[in-house]
Structures are given as structure tokens and as C-alpha cells.
Amino acid sequence: MERSQDTVVCRCENVTMGEISDVLTAGAKTFDDIKRVTRAGMGICQGRICECAVTDLLMRGGGVPPTEISPRSVRPPVRPITLDVLGASEPDALPLPDEA
């Protein structure tokens, strides 16, 4: 199977290689740049799966040297967690450092 401009790179947000190429042409240099324009990396897996492919495109299509590639930014929660657990206030809820 050949890759083409329609090849889906970010499966969570259905972002194609063509869309990413366009952003590279406009001067994108980081995963975050591409994320903010295309939504690649904003879906439920938060870039776990597409980061490698996007990084590859940054290097080849965007001309970013490997030494200048920064990883995608990671924020809590480490994995999806329901709001009822996040908002829990029962005594046996996980103690959280900055609530001490």
C-alpha cells in the first residue's frame, strides 16, 4: 500500500499526511506546531501513536534536524480518567501532593 496525501497519520483526529505537509510548508518546526493547526495529537491517545510519524515528517518534510526535535508535551492525566473519580472527595481518594 502506497502512502499518499490521504494517508491518515493521526487516527484519533483523522489528520492526513496532506494536511501535515501543508503546515510544514507554512513553517511548522515542532509537533506542537502541527498539533495546533491540524489537531493531530489532541485526540484520546494524546499523540502516543502519531508522534513517531509526525516526527518523521518534521525531519524529512520540515527539514528539522533530529537534534532539534523536541518531544510532544505531555500533561496529566497520564491516561483517560472519569470525572467522578477526578472530582472524588471521599477519604480514600488518592492523596494529592498539592492539597496537603
Partner 1 sequence: MAQRITEHQVLGPPPTLRAFHLTFNGREIPALEGDSIASALLAAGIRVIRRSAGGDPRGIYCGIGHCYECRVTVNGVSGQRACLVPAGDGMIVEEEPEEDRDGH
Partner 2 sequence: MLDTSDVAVIGAGARGSAIAYYLAREGVNVALVDRGFLATGTTGATMGLINVSGKPPAEYTALSLASARLYPDLAEALGVDLEFESGQSILEVILDPADLPAAHEYAKRQSRVPGVDVRVLDTYEARQMAPELSPDIIGAVYCPQDGHLNPFRLAWGFITAARRLGARFYPHTRVTGIRTTQSRVTAVVTTAGEISTRTVVNAAGVEVPSIGEMVGLSIPVVASRGQIVTTEALPPLFPGPIDSMRQTRTGSVLIGTTEEFVGYDTGVTTRALRQNVRRAVRIMPRLRTARAIRCWAGLRPWPVDGLPIMGGVSGLDGYVIATGHSGITLSAITGQLIADAILRRPTVALESFMLDRFSEGRFHFPVEGFRAFRRRYGSTILARAVSPAGGDA
The label of the residue with cell 513517531 reads 52
CB 31 within 8 A of CB 55: yes
- Measured distance CA(42)–CA(12) in Å, rounded: 8
Cα 98 to chain centroid, rounded = 27
Number of residues in contact with partner 1 under rule CB under 8 A: 10
Range 30-69, binding partner 1 (CB under 8 A): 43-45, 48-49
Residues 65, 75, 91, 92: which binds partner 2 (CB under 8 A)?
Answer: 75
Residues 1, 3, 7, 8: which binds partner 1 (CB under 8 A)?
Answer: 8
H or E element, residue 67 = none
Residues 13, 17, 58, 72: which binds partner 2 (CB under 8 A)?
Answer: 13
Interface contacts to partner 1, rule CB under 8 A: 8, 11-12, 14, 43-45, 48-49, 80
